[in-house]
Amino acid sequence: MTYLPDRITKVEGRSQDPHEGDLDVPTWPVEPGRYRLVAARACPWANRSIIVRTLLGLEDVISMGLTGPTHDERSWTFDLDPGGVDPVLGYERLQQAYFARDPDYPRGITVPAMVDVPTKAVVTNDFPWITHDLFFEWRDHHRPDAPGLWPDACREEMEEVMQRIFTEVNNGVYRCGFAGSQEAYDAAYDRLWTALDWLEERLTDRRYLMGDAITEADVRLFTTLARFDPVYHGHFKCNRNKLSEMPVLWAYARDLFQTPGFGETVDFEQIKRHYYVVHEDINPSGIVPKGPDLADWHTPHGRERV
């Protein structure tokens, strides 16, 4: 997948992240009220941006539009809104924002997307940079007690952890689900569980991935864990065991779920409807399973003792 690489930055052409500096991509100015984050609660990549926007207290600075949980080959649609139209952009389909940017836009219509409200055109859909820049570029507008999601003290290690999570876990479940052969599936399955066992061990003696505070790494892992039992375990055949059968990861996931900014962004019914309806090649019947029982996400986790 190729993404629109534009960035929204405080200073034109330059990142406020001390690890970056000058940028070689088009930049747009930080301007409260100018942009609309279009996301879907069903999508793990979009769920990241919803969580980070909430954690940083940017709800009154960057508006948000939510699509429905399903889409066709053309686009995500705003069927959750009255009349099926986004009230700010006036669009029925996210595709319209992409075509406002490029009438011949040739790539996938993805969420999350940052849309310039005055022109109603997509600015960027490059999801890892969207959450990165919400932290570094919009700092003047964060709530006073916003978490330090990118701590400099452990930045190098955090980048390594996030890279492994991205390749082996975030993408790993998809590698299992869309494997085209038994050999490919077996290899993907082994890679995924090697990574999950590593995470189970890593989190045994630390509350969060980088220590005693929530970081971007936790956000990136959480959105996959939240979907594991309702979707990936069965639908993607990641079925060595359920998340709820891994004591450390399950407690860690519940800890995050019960943290303000995380659980309220998760809609399990939308998640299940998205995967089981959209992936017709995997689930041609379109039947959405009633289970599993997800009430235990609210049970005590005991992670404050770690």
Q: Which helix (H) or strand (E) holds 37?
A: strand 35-39
Q: What is the pLDDT of residue 40?
A: 98
At 73 the pLDDT is: 86
Predicted pLDDT at 1 = 58
In tens, the pLDDT along 235-283 reads: 999 999 999 999 999 999 999 999 999 999 999 999 999 999 999 999 9
- Domains in the chain, start-ordered, CATH in brackets? 7-141 (3.40.30.10), 152-305 (1.20.1050.10)
Angle at 220 between CA 216 and CA 222, to 5 degrees: 110
Which residues, 6 or more positions from 191, have their beta carbon under 8 angstroms from its beta carbon? 168, 172, 175
DSSP state of 298: G
Residue-wise pLDDT tens digits, 133-167:
999 999 999 999 999 999 999 999 999 999 999 99
What percentage of the chain reaches a pLDDT higher than 70?
100
Measured CA to CA in angstroms, residue 198 lies from 62, 164, 179, 213, 217 at distances of 36, 10, 23, 20, 15
Flag whether pLDDT at 209 surpasses 90: yes
DSSP per-residue codes, 212-267 = SS--HHHHHHHHHHHHIIIIITTTT---SS-GGGSHHHHHHHHHHHTSTTTGGG--
Q: What pLDDT score does 292 carry?
A: 95
Rounded Cα distance, 188 and 168, in Å: 9
**CB distance 49 to 127 below 8 Å:** yes
Count the residues in the chain.
306
174 given a catalytic annotation:
yes
Q: Which of 3, 105, 154, 174 is catalytic?
A: 174
pLDDT average, residue stretch 59-88: 96
- Residue 292: asked if its preceding bond is cis (omega within 30°), the reply is yes
Assign 121 to helix, strand or coil. strand
Q: Which of 118, 159, 144, 162 is nearest to 29 (CA)?
A: 118
> Which pLDDT does position 302 carry in this prediction?
96
Distance between CA 256 and CA 252 in Å, rounded?
Answer: 6
Measured CA angle at 15 (ends 20, 39), to 5 deg: 110
Q: Cβ(100)–Cβ(123) under 8 Å? A: no
Annotation-wise, does 76 bind a ligand?
yes
Q: Are strands 121-124 and 113-116 parallel, antiparallel or unpaired?
A: antiparallel
Q: How confident is the model over 177-204, as pLDDT tens digits?
A: 999 999 999 999 999 999 999 999 999 9
Q: Taking residues 51-79, what's their average pLDDT?
A: 97
Q: What is the pLDDT of residues 91-114, one digit of tens each?
A: 999 999 999 999 999 999 999 999
pTM over 0.95: yes
Half-sphere exposure of 9 (CA within 13 A, CB side): 19
pLDDT digits (tens, 9 = 90+) for 213-244: 999 999 999 999 999 999 999 999 999 999 99
Distances (CA, A) of 259 to 201, 207, 253: 22, 13, 10
Q: Report whether pLDDT(2) > 90.
A: no
Q: Which of 43, 189, 275, 276 is labelled catalytic?
A: 43
**Residue 6 Ramachandran class (φ > 0 left, ψ -120 to 50 alpha, else beta):** beta
